[in-house]
Structure 1
Amino acid sequence: MPIYLYWGEDDFALEKAVDSLRDRILDPQWANFNYDKISQALPDAVITALNQAMTPPFGSAYRLVWLVDTTICLHCSEDLLAELERTIPAIPESSVFLLTTRSKPDGRLRSTKLLQNHADIREFSLIPPWKTEELLKKVRQVAQQVGVKLTPAAAELLAQSVGNDTRQLWNELEKLQVYAGIPKPLPTASDQAGVSQDAITLEVVAALVTSNTQNSLQLASAIAKGNTAHACSLVADLIGHNEPALRIVATLIGQFRTWLWVKLMVESGERDERAIATAAEIGNPKRIYFLRQEVKDFSVRQLTLTLPLLLELEVALKRGADPISTLQMKVIELCQLYQ
């Protein structure tokens, strides 16, 4: 299919997908002639991109036209829509037309519906920090791409440590690859037959991987214990390691939200771990045993009052409040709930 629409806020994953598409499509000898990267900020960017996509490639292989940060799936004039409807179905098989945007396409627009009919649409959204099973699945997927074997415990710690930061995940796995002296992945599975590799252990990941998200989970634990001094110290450490304040809050919201759901289900008398896992959006029901131990000393009232306070914190940070002082003041208030 010659038309692709990539969208989502995971910039690093999207860029990797673009690089992969470009490497697959373009003949290196003709790449300078057959590759156009066009910014939406340029005058008549969409028309220019469409014209280039209609131009036959030089030499062999294909032409790739990349329209960056397009807005046609958010708003599109009637004149531009008419041009899209005329040109998109006629783009030759020798051209690949790629559109990228961070924003979710508006499915009500005719321009979006046109692309839904003609384009391969792929989403690159960030995984919510509380969806631990999806984060773990992502770790295993990227580890396989990089060629790194991880023990189950090491994979879980890595998922906790990097959260939904795809760039850090790749960087940490490449670091582990170098540490273990693992060669780059071979082209095919058959080429790798007979290649043995010891799995990287939990201890190695703990020693080498920067674990800002893990510290955010430690912050949630410190708050739940009412340990104000330790919680404020963790806030200072996280900010000192350049952990974005909003990412810290997202991790806290995810953790307390999970605790609240588990506590509500337990209090209601539910004993089926699968039912509790489904309600709390936890992929692995085996985690419920440990979560039940974690929440046994909490009250539903404490957990219920925590989420609005975290929402207030998120709003304050988005309005430009100082990260460290705002976080510490709200953390003190949260700790008082659990004392």
Structure 2
Amino acid sequence: MPPPKKAAATDSGPIHVILGTDDARVKEAAMKTVQRLTPPGADEFANEIIEGNADNAEHAGQICSNVILALQTMPFFGGAKVVWLKGANFLGDTQTGKAQAAVQGFENLLDVLEGGLGPDVKFVLSANSIDKRRNSYKRLGKLAAIEVFDKPDTSKAGWEGAVLAQASQKAKQLGLTFESGALDLLVQMAGDDTRQLENEIEKIDLYLGERRRCGINTVRGLVSLSRAGVVWEIGNAIGVRDLQRALELLGVLLYQGQNAIGILLGAIVPRVRSLLVVKELATKHKINRASYSGFTSSLDALPPSATAHLPRKKDGTGFNAYPLFLALNEAGKFTLDELHAALEACLEANVKLVTTQLDSKVVLERLLVGMLSPRVTR
């Protein structure tokens, strides 16, 4: 993962805010911040943790009042104090967050923070989201050191790069190494769920024992599929031209409430594009199919004109090659004409999902049937 975004006050200030959609990393960062701010040797009464999970707007207002009281009350035995508003769920653009009681409660809390805290009082706020359009966010930004931990958008190309960095860091901490392509596969299967990602690496660590190198087969055998992993599995089903499996996975995601356009753009289109790209590359150039490292080396050896359209990693260090490598052998199940037609069909499906009232499941099922049905020989 990239380092968290920071804004406003310095890290040494009395007020700290940790935000983001990545719940696991937000909780971890907030906990570490509280531990760092807690004086050495402080007892259990030195800090006060106030749960921020509000049932409704009135509850949110009461939570803010409790935080204000905690900030203005010194510990029983004196000394420093840290107040943590943990997991506030009423600061975003939600029905509860927009209600007057919640808005006014947080404004009252900001009034207290702007008035200044006691010399030994620190405040930590963690939340999954905050409405940046409100004046309260601007006020908070002037007061606090803000860290943001957001999950990557798996519907956008290159999202794997950020997750790979975190996975590499965790593996390094455990002394693990991965065969070429194995860590990429792990990221694809775990998706944007960073807590699951770390759990899966720890599971691999326990399984390997004294062995410190993990292969692709080990990842396939041990790692559980996340929601993003199911999305990725649809891509795999497309690659091997397994219509029944693709339709089953589509049904699972739609039943889970996943957005049809997100499935189209996050799973179907990327795999079709990868199949088309490698099919054209293999037709025009000599590509090493034996191993992932050999494949990437053969890409690097191609002239820039042949690789200008290939997806690249966010840091610009090279090609985002693993999805292409996965599609390399699968592309033989399709003709170039079929892949061109499949990409055009994806565009038509996108238009239907956005501009018509057609049932989204029917639109995607027709798309998959059209792409993956057995070839008709004449």
Taking structure 1 as the reference length, what is the TM-score of the superposition? Answer: 0.70
Cα deviation 1:172-215 (Å, max 9, x = unaligned): 12212222347xxxxxxxxxxxxxx7233323222211235555
User: Match for residue 188 of structure 2?
Assistant: 160
Cα deviation 1:13-70 (Å, max 9, x = unaligned): 2222223223333357523442221434354322331332243444555423225325
- Separation of aligned partners in 1, 2:243 and 2:319: 32
Change (3 A) 1:291 1:16: same
Unaligned runs of at least 5 residues, structure 1: 183-196, 316-320
User: Match for residue 200 of structure 1?
Assistant: 214
- Separation of aligned partners in 2, 1:164 and 1:89: 40
User: Match for residue 273 of structure 1?
Assistant: 307
- Say which of 44, 50, 55 aligns to 2:62: 44
Other structure's SS at 2:224 match: coil
User: Match for residue 258 of structure 1?
Assistant: 270
User: Match for residue 147 of structure 2?
Assistant: 122
- Separation of aligned partners in 1, 2:44 and 2:172: 29
> Shift of residue 113 of structure 1?
0.9
Change (3 A) 1:204 1:301: closer
- Residue 34 in structure 1 maps to residue 60 in structure 2: no
- Say which of 126, 133, 136 aligns to 1:100: 126
Taking structure 2 as the reference length, what is the TM-score of the superposition? Answer: 0.64
Query: Residue 167 of structure 1 aligns to which amino acid in structure 2?
Result: R
- Residue 6 in structure 1 maps to residue 18 in structure 2: yes
- Separation of aligned partners in 2, 1:82 and 1:29: 29
Q: Is the 8 A contact 2:239 2:327 kept in 1?
A: no
- Separation of aligned partners in 2, 1:72 and 1:278: 36
> Shift of residue 100 of structure 1?
2.7
> Shift of residue 112 of structure 1?
0.8
Change (3 A) 1:66 1:308: farther
> Shift of residue 158 of structure 1?
0.8
Query: Residue 346 of structure 2 aligns to which amino acid in structure 1?
Result: T
**Which deviates further from its counterpart, 6-15 or 39-48?**
39-48
Q: 1:309-324 counterparts in 2 under 5 A? A: 309=349
Q: Please report the RMSD computed on the Cα atoms of aligned residues, expressed in angstroms.
A: 4.4
**Which deviates further from its counterpart, 2-11 or 217-226?**
217-226
- Separation of aligned partners in 2, 1:139 and 1:153: 13
> Shift of residue 250 of structure 1?
4.1
Other structure's SS at 1:63 match: strand
> Shift of residue 136 of structure 1?
1.7
Query: Residue 222 of structure 1 aligns to which amino acid in structure 2?
Result: A
User: Match for residue 83 of structure 2?
Assistant: 64
Unaligned runs of at least 5 residues, structure 2: 1-12, 281-303, 374-378
Other structure's SS at 2:214 match: coil
> Shift of residue 114 of structure 1?
1.3
> Shift of residue 159 of structure 1?
0.4
Change (3 A) 1:71 1:42: closer
Other structure's SS at 1:91 match: coil
Other structure's SS at 2:126 match: strand
Cα deviation 1:90-142 (Å, max 9, x = unaligned): 12453332223322431x32211111112121222221225122222232233
- Separation of aligned partners in 2, 1:127 and 1:207: 25
